[in-house]
Amino acid sequence: MELNLKRPIAFFDLETTGLNIMHDRIVEVSVLRINVNGTQEQRTWRINPGIPIPPETTAIHGISDADVAHEKTFKQAAPEISKFFGNCDLAGYNILKFDLPMLVEEFIRAGVNFDPKDRQLIDVMNIFMKMEPRTLKGAYRFFLNKELDNAHSANADTFATYEVLTAMLDRYKDTEYTDFKGVTSKPIVNDMTELAQFSSHHQNADLMGQIVYDEQGKAVFKFGKHKDERVEDVFRKEPQYYDWIMKSDFPEYTKRVVTKLRYPDRNISF
């Protein structure tokens, strides 16, 4: 089934030096752009992270320090990468927990505006794990009845994720799903807004899910001593908590979200 697109959608995958959003860096970005007319464009950038790639990480994705020694840094490549993403909605496998926060953090460090707030964000892994709890390789075997070669290659993974999502639309188009509240629906439809809503765990205020919106639309902390308390209540009774967050080891995007919540009249650039 072809995707029903109202605007282009970009499937993307990252390879990195590690899994720490604040301290690790990107070494490869691959983007598969599906345009509204169905045409496809793909670009892959190798990135010099400016820090060593650990041998155990190279063993996973096969990219070594020597492979990226003469490549551009992310800051140098960022304008070109951002332009290729354009105004696309975003999709990928496990992007909400890792790839998207990492990508946005790198754009912030590069001084390039890349705000995901107005884009539909579709995490194919979350759809899959809710419907059939398996890995991307297992999903590829399950939906396409063939093996995924070159797993952990950004090129292979982006195409595989795209193929899995289109196959999901066919398999689950009339399948009922019952959520934790007991509400039953048929959520797998060919609509990017609906898929983005179903593939998300929470309505996040930031990208890491450290601040989420409750049922009344109020921002709530999901970490620390004020976990599950509303942000506005915490800042009213303990305004110095804002200063602690600003000085602590949080992603820059999260800090900007917190600043906007603390000072809503400020013009905060994302």
pLDDT, tens digit, 9 for 90 and up, residues 89-110 = 999 999 999 999 999 999 999 9
Residue 222 has pLDDT above 90, yes or no: yes
CA-to-CA separations, 261 to 8, 64, 188, in angstroms, rounded: 31, 41, 33
In the chain the beta strands, taken as DSSP E runs, fall at 9-16, 26-34, 40-46, 89-92, 121-123, 177-178, 184-185, 211-213, 219-221
3-state secondary structure of 267: coil
In this prediction, residues 32-59 reach a mean pLDDT of 96
Residue 133 has pLDDT above 70, yes or no: no
Rounded Cα distance, 178 and 10, in Å: 29
Rounded Cα distance, 166 and 3, in Å: 7
In this prediction, residues 50-61 reach a mean pLDDT of 93
CA-to-CA separations, 6 to 37, 120, 160, in angstroms, rounded: 10, 11, 22
Which structure tokens are listed for 224?
Answer: 């620390």
Q: What is the dihedral of CA 123, 129, 130, 132, to 10 degrees?
A: 130
Q: What Rg, from alpha-carbon coordinates, does the chain have?
A: 19
CA-to-CA separations, 205 to 90, 168, 213, 260, in angstroms, rounded: 17, 28, 6, 11
| 2 exposure class (CB count in 10 Å sphere: 0-12, 13-18, 19+) | exposed
In this prediction, residues 70-76 reach a mean pLDDT of 98
pLDDT confidence tier of residue 29, bands split at 50, 70 and 90: very high
Given CATH 3.30.420.10, say whether it is the number of domain 9-199.
Answer: yes
Domain boundaries, given as residue ranges, for the chain? 9-199, 211-262
Closest C-alpha to 76, from 43, 42, 107, 41: 107
Which structure tokens are listed for 189?
Answer: 């439809």
Q: What does the pLDDT read at residue 183? A: 82
Contact, 9 vs 42, CB < 8 A? Answer: no
Q: What does the pLDDT read at residue 201? A: 66
Stretch (H or E) spanning 71:
none
Q: Give the Cβ contact number of residue 240 at 10 Å.
A: 8
Q: What does the pLDDT read at residue 151? A: 65
What angle (nearest 5°) sits at the alpha carbon of residue 50, between those of residues 44 and 51?
Answer: 110
Helices (H), 69-153: 74-85, 100-110, 124-131, 136-144
Rounded Cα distance, 11 and 42, in Å: 9
Closest C-alpha to 204, from 257, 128, 133: 257
Mean pLDDT check: name the lowest of 46-55, 73-82, 91-100, 172-181: 172-181
